[in-house]
Amino acid sequence: MKKFLIIPIFLLFTASAMDAAGAGLQGDVNLDGMVNISDVTDLIDSLLNQDAGPSCDVDLDGQVSISDVTTLIDILLSPADQVTLTVNGVAFTMVHVEGGMFTMGCTSDQWPDHRRNEAPVHEVTLSGYYIGQTEVTQELWNAVMGKNPSKFIDPQRPVETVSMFACAEFVDKLSELTGKVFRLPTEAEWEFAARGGNKSRHYKYSGSNEVDDVAWYAGNSGLESHPVATKAPNELGIHDMSGNVLEWCLDWYYYYTQDPCVNPVGPDSGDENVYRGGCWKSDASFCRNATRDKLDPDTAMNVLGLRVVMNE
């Protein structure tokens, strides 16, 4: 086997061949528009037969070798930046949030209108996950639950007037229908995604320091919800984490401590659940990335909806 470890590329890369390879999908060895296991087998065949073409140079170092196989396998194993799923004819997109570490709470970008329950700041480490590119729309809720409890009826607006219990039922049904594991975000997952994850530019609101760029809030909403994704996205391409509707989180409400934590899920029990992000009725300061508050899980109001998380 060893003699196949380094095999020089046989086709000279002309400028046009490089362009063609560069323009294609990285890892699409057999040029069928998809990257999958057949590209691995075709790449190994090409290595063994010494007939590798430019598309076999997956890691773009100018030669075809075993390192292209390992790079291709890495590509296949790494989570996609986003995934679009369809349930009962309704498509929705989940954005990948790479795992990382961040400072949660009233960091300096949240001053001076931060609130006492955002202190103390603390270091949080999270594993990767997928989070909804938008709040759950009425269209999606209806496709899963067969009804729409919202007050501001419009398929493209976020669902609202949903209690924590109704949301728990929704994520269970969504999991059943898709074969994936859906749940509500933990409060830490919510804040990390709102801050832009590892791409964070440390804005006050989710994606900007100007609330009007990214949020439907009391100052611009006309006191109603709006279709999702009609304001600019944040650093990860996620919309409406500031404003439009408030979003339920999984955690029972608790007071922060300074202790660093890994994948925190909040206390084991409690009376009220956390919600996040401000809404069409909030003032700007409530739409900040670190703002947090709590409600009885029975509560269903026209300001309160959800966004889902899917495990990696």
Q: How far apart are CA 150 and CA 141, in angstroms?
A: 10
Asked if 131 and 308 touch (Cβ cutoff 8 Å), the reply is yes
Q: Whose Cβ is closer to Ca ion: residue 243's or residue 297's?
A: 243
57 binds Ca ion (CB under 5 A): yes
Task: Compare residues 6 and 262 and give the one whose CB is closer to Ca ion.
Answer: 6
Q: Phi and psi for 96 in degrees, rounded to 5?
A: -75, 130
For the CB of residue 241, give the shortest distance to Ca ion in the complex, in Å: 6
Q: Which stretch binds Ca ion (CB under 5 A): 57-65, 174-182, 186-194, 282-290?
A: 57-65
CB of 254 to Ca ion, least distance (A): 22
Read off the tokens for 46: 């090409």
CB-CB contact of 291 with 278 (8 Å): yes
Cα–Cα nearest to 160, from 132, 185, 186, 141: 141
Residue nearer to Ca ion on the CB measure, 21 or 126? 21
User: Smallest distance, Å, CB 227 to Ca ion?
Assistant: 13
Residues of span 229-258 touching Ca ion by CB under 5 A = 240, 244
Q: Report the C-alpha gap between 108 and 119 in whole angstroms.
A: 11
Strands 122-126 and 261-262 come out as parallel
* Largest distance between two CA atoms of the chain: 70
Asked if 28 is part of the footprint of Ca ion (rule: CB under 5 A), the reply reads yes
Least distance (Å) from Ca ion to the CB of residue 159?
Answer: 12
Residue from 61, 169, 296, 298 in contact with Ca ion (CB under 5 A): 61
Cβ distance to Ca ion smaller for residue 14 or 108? 14
Between 73 and 177, CB nearer to Ca ion:
73
139 binds Ca ion (CB under 5 A): no
Place of tokens 């209690």: 163
Instruction: Match 């611009």 to its residue by tokens.
Output: 220
187 is an interface residue for Ca ion by CB under 5 A: no
CA distance 275 to 174: 21
Classify the phi-psi angles of 33: left when phi > 0, otherwise alpha if psi is within -120 to 50, otherwise beta: left
- Told to check if 39 binds Ca ion by CB under 5 A, we report yes
| Residue 53 or 177 having the CB closest to Ca ion | 53
Residue from 105, 132, 196, 277 touching Ca ion (CB under 5 A): that is 277
How many residues in the shown chain lie near Ca ion by CB under 5 A?
Answer: 12
* Tokens coding 171: 């994520």
- Return the range that interacts with Ca ion (CB under 5 A); candidates 67-75, 104-112, 143-151, 186-194: 67-75
User: Which residue from 57, 53, 51 is spatially nearest to 27, judged by alpha carbons?
Assistant: 57
Where does this chain bind Ca ion (CB under 5 A)?
A: 28, 30, 32, 34, 39, 57, 59, 61, 68, 240, 244, 277
